[in-house]
Amino acid sequence: MKLLKFGVALTAGVSALALNASAEDKFPSKTIEVITHAGAGGGTDVNSRMMMLRARRTLKADMIVVNKRGGGGARAMNHFATRPADGHTIMTFTIGHAITMAKGKTKLKVEDMAAIARGTNDPQILMVNCKLSKYKTPEELVAGMKANKLKVGTTQIGTIDHISAYIFAKKGGLMQPTIVPFKGGGELATQLVAGAVEVGVLNLSEAASPIEAGDICPLIIMGTNRMKPIPKAKTATELGIPVVLSTVRGFVTHSSVPAEKVALLEAGIAKAMKHKMYQSYLEASGLDATSPAGSKAWGEQIKAMIKEFGPAIKEMGLK
């Protein structure tokens, strides 16, 4: 009788171990946290939630947003660094995070992150007032910046717009412009139309309405390709100035997460972003299907951004 009881107990124990092993093998096995540095309703918060709408289904797991505001993304990055590296924590990494990292304002390093996928890619674009500007073509604008210290509008000081203007002028052998900062892209676009600045560093999504109205003319794209909505604009690379800078948002996890788990996250999120709901969100933001990218391209872009920003930030006296 004792042997029978022992056999039953042993069988039950083996079954329990098998169930536990099965649960551990399943991934994701619990709620996935998506850390953002933006408050509810901010651009990064919205982008994260739009991705999650379908990713919950493709990954077959619940997902929640964890907002950690402050420090230009430093608080979000520092919180991310404390979370378990089991693949159940994702951070929405942005251009702002890259700038903060390049300034050394967070302990998190590039090598601490594993790229999953890029969600949005909104190239920096040099734009002029169609009616007031004497620069009508990309080539004329480059020549103008070479011969004159132009008044260039950006969103605040130390942002991607400000840094883009500096790097573009430096790599093009142009005169560093006089920077006129504004509170946001909307105000900058309005002031460019009003003639307060000669050039504006804007994203297509920020100036869509005045471009459509014929008030603002985009001339130079700091992206890898031309953009269908603005066929007359050329890339900086086409003009012999090797600058590729964008306002980007994408997703990362911890670098110590096993590669197979990162691959599952990438596949699930990539599938979610191909859905018509996410594609409609991109279109409404002035973007297209080229915005999302896989882990390889996204990882290389993260490294390139920080490598580009580090020296520029130091030279600009922002570090």
CATH assignment at residue 193: 3.40.190.10
How many distinct structural domains can be found in the chain?
A: 2
pLDDT for 10 beyond 90: no
Residue 23 lies in a domain: no
Q: Which residues contact 41 (CB under 8 A, 6 or more apart)?
A: none
Residue 12 lies in a domain: no
Residue 207 lies in a domain: yes
Give the per-residue pLDDT at 24. Answer: 53
Residue 204 lies in a domain: yes
Give, to the nearest 10 degrees, the angle between helix 160-172 and helix 295-315.
80
Residue 22 lies in a domain: no
Summarised one tens digit per residue, pLDDT across range 135-191 is 999 999 999 999 999 999 999 999 999 999 999 999 999 999 999 999 999 999 999
Q: Distance (Å, rounded) from C-alpha 303 to C-alpha 300?
A: 5
- Residues 215-240, mean pLDDT to the nearest whole number: 95
221 within 8 A of 234, measured Cβ to Cβ:
yes
Q: From 239, 273, 306, give the residue that closes a domain.
A: 239
Burial of 55 (0-12, 13-18, 19+ CB in 10 A): buried
- On whether both 85 and 60 belong to a single domain, the answer is yes
- On whether both 211 and 116 belong to a single domain, the answer is no
Nearest to 75 by CA among 36, 116, 102, 32: 36
Give the per-residue pLDDT at 18. Answer: 43
- On whether both 117 and 251 belong to a single domain, the answer is yes
Nearest to 127 by CA among 95, 154, 163, 146: 154
pLDDT for 250 beyond 50: yes
Summarised one tens digit per residue, pLDDT across range 13-38 is 544 444 444 445 789 999 999 999 98
pLDDT bucket at 40, cuts 50 / 70 / 90: confident
Q: From 210, 239, 268, give the residue that closes a domain.
A: 239
Nearest to 118 by CA among 238, 292, 259: 292
Residue 151 lies in a domain: yes
- pTM, two decimals, is 0.84
SS3 of residue 170 by DSSP: helix
Measure CA 162 to chain center: 17
Residue 4 lies in a domain: no
Summarised one tens digit per residue, pLDDT across range 60-111 is 999 999 999 988 899 999 999 999 999 999 999 999 999 999 999 999 999 9
Measure CA 69 to chain center: 16
Nearest to 118 by CA among 4, 269, 6, 261: 269
Range of the domain at 63: 29-121+247-315
Nearest to 206 by CA among 277, 119, 126: 126
- On whether both 231 and 191 belong to a single domain, the answer is yes
Give the per-residue pLDDT at 256. Answer: 97
| CATH of residue 270 | 3.40.190.150
- On whether both 105 and 132 belong to a single domain, the answer is no
Give the per-residue pLDDT at 8. Answer: 45
The DSSP secondary-structure symbol of 185 reads H
